[in-house]
Chains A and B, each alone.
Chain A
Amino acid sequence: MDLLDNYKKAWNNQPEDAHKVSSLEIYKMAQSKSSSIVKWIFIIGIAEFVFLNSLYFLSDRDEVLKTYEKLELVNFMFFSGILGYIILFFFLAKFYQNYKRISATASTKVLMNNILKTRKTVRNYVIFNLGYVAIVTIVVSIASIKMEFEILNTKKLLLIGFIILIATVLILGLLWLFYQLLYGILLKKLNRNYKELSKLDCTN
């Protein structure tokens, strides 16, 4: 008898792998989509944060501070800035948490839930960013108008108010478009995964 035949017997009697993979796990592996999408949301969130902050450090801060002093807004900008950072860090932590959770889940129900949670986080994040920009713009505008209030007549005041309104809406619109592009595509993919998962859940 061949030497290898002995080993063949041992080979045939080897146990099956202890970690049996379920069809859902197979599906998730084959797709490997949801977790990578959520990972991208996390990475883009951080990249955006780093980019915007480096813009801030590149700008002439003395100049900016002088403007704020003139407008009597130093305190407002300081505290709103701190609050903004706290909330931003909160969202980044949330993004990370979502990513961790999605890579570790095993059941369809939990995975679907996590996808919904991630979508909600991103939506809140975008709303927060837009709201923050809107509030800062409005406050700065009102402060500027207040300073020049005596020199301006009603007609000019209305015109300036109108221009500021248009500019704000334009900026917000652009920002919204930017976010739509940045996160919208990822969320759409995530939504498609969600639909596929819900179909899969029905057949199981």
Chain B
Amino acid sequence: MQKDLETKFLSEFEQNQNIAHKICRVYTTNQSAHNDLFQEITIQLWKNYPKFRGDSKFSTWMYRVALNTAISLYRKSTKTIKTQDIGEIAYKIKATDYDNTEEVQLKALYKAIHKLNDIDKALIFLYLEDKPYKEISETLGISSVNARVKMNRAKDKLKNILKP
């Protein structure tokens, strides 16, 4: 990669890194898996950046590459059974900044998301990130109608898990 391109990439990524962190939280349940996925996303973004033409926002492109990395990595690892240590997903939440209900809700939400399959995880994640259907369909490479149908199913599944 060219020097100026590298510098640009690094600063853009640094600013948008929270997208990658959130995806890692959705797809992994412990810190070391989180770090591994984060690095894999970084490598994929770096490799693909020269092809990024800037016709969309950096963040939009980042959602696409990062999610697809997570999905394909998750597919590969489905053969190995994963033990879920939900306890670690407290994610150092500062109790002072958030009232307790939100913290409990967030924990429950992650716990529920972790029970979904890889595609549903991506759909729910994009829904939570308030992405329009057009962007969701482009990110996941499916038609807008298909995205809508799949989204409703994913949401139903999530609601069923969340309901006591």
Give complex CA distance A70, B153 in Å: 87
- Of the candidate stretches B39-47, B77-85, B136-144, the one touching chain A is B39-47
- Please give me the residue from chain B that is nearest to A14 by CB atom: B106
Complex: how many Å from CA A17 to CA B93? 9
Out of A15, A16, A26, which one reaches B10, CB within 8 Å? A26
- Closest chain A CB from B21 CB (angstroms): 4
CB atoms of B106 and A3 under 8 A apart:
no
Instruction: Looking at the assembled complex, report how far the CB atom of A39 sits from the nearest CB atom of chain B, in whole angstroms.
Output: 15
A8 — which chain B residues lie within 8 A by C-beta?
A: 127-128, 130
Q: Are A10 and B109 neighbours in the complex by a CB distance under 8 Å?
A: yes
Q: Within 8 Å of chain A (Cβ to Cβ): is B51? A: no
Report if A116 contacts B (CB, 8 A).
no
Q: How far is the CA of A32 from the CA of B43 in the complex (A)?
A: 8
0/1 string, B96-112, CB within 8 A of A gives 1? 01100111011011000
Interface SS, B side: helix
In chain B, residues 133-161, which have Cβ atoms closer than 8 Å to a Cβ of chain A?
155, 158-159
The CA-CA distance from A15 to B21 in the complex, in Å, is 11
Question: Which B residue's beta carbon lies closest to that of A23?
Answer: B10
Instruction: Report yes or no: A7 in contact with B162, Cβ–Cβ below 8 A.
Output: yes
Task: Report the bound CA distance from A174 to B116 in whole Å.
Answer: 60
Task: Say how far A35's CB is from chain B's closest CB, in angstroms.
Answer: 11
Determine whether the beta carbon of A30 is less than 8 Å from that of B46.
yes
Most buried by A among B10, B109, B163: B10
| A27 contacts B by Cβ under 8 Å | yes
A156 at the interface (CB under 8 A from B): no
A199 interface residue (CB < 8 Å to B):
yes
| Interface residue count on the A side (C-beta < 8 Å) | 28
Q: Is B92 an interface residue (CB 8 A)?
A: yes
A149 to B50, CA, bound (A): 72
Which residues from 1 to 52 on chain A have a C-beta closer than 8 Å to any C-beta of chain B?
A: 3-4, 6-18, 20-23, 26-27, 29-32
Interface residues of A in 136-167 (CB under 8 A from B): none
How far apart are A128's CB and chain B's nearest CB, in angstroms?
A: 36
User: Inside 8 A of A10's CB, which chain B residues have their CB?
Assistant: 101-103, 105-106, 109
Q: With A4-B158, A32-B43 in contact, is A23–B14 under 8 Å at CB? A: yes
Measured CB to CB, the nearest residue on chain B to A31 is B46
Asked if A75 is an interface residue, CB under 8 A from chain B, the answer is: no
In angstroms, how far is the closest chain B Cβ from the Cβ of A137?
Answer: 47
Binary A-proximity of B7-41 (CB < 8 A = 1, otherwise 0): 10011011001100110010000000000001100
Q: Is A59 an interface residue (CB 8 A)?
A: no
What's the nearest-Cβ distance from chain B to residue A32, in Å? 7
Is the pair B93, A15 in contact by a Cβ cutoff of 8 Å? yes
User: How far is A186 from B90 in the complex, measured between Cα atoms in Å?
Assistant: 42
**Of B14, B39, B97, which contacts A32 at CB under 8 A?**
B39
Q: How far is the CB of A177 from chain B (nearest CB, A)?
A: 34
Q: Do the beta carbons of A11 and B109 come within 8 Å of each other? A: yes
| Nearest opposing residue in chain A for B102, CB measure | A10
Task: Enumerate chain A residues within 8 angstroms of B46, measured Cβ to Cβ.
Answer: 30-31
A203 interface residue (CB < 8 Å to B): yes
Given contacts A10-B105, A11-B109, A203-B7, contact A26 B14 (CB under 8 A): yes
Q: B-contacting residues of A (Cβ < 8 Å)?
A: 3-4, 6-18, 20-23, 26-27, 29-32, 199-200, 203
Question: What are 8 A-B contacts defined by CB distance under 8 Å?
Answer: A4-B127, A10-B102, A11-B109, A11-B128, A13-B102, A17-B17, A30-B45, A200-B6
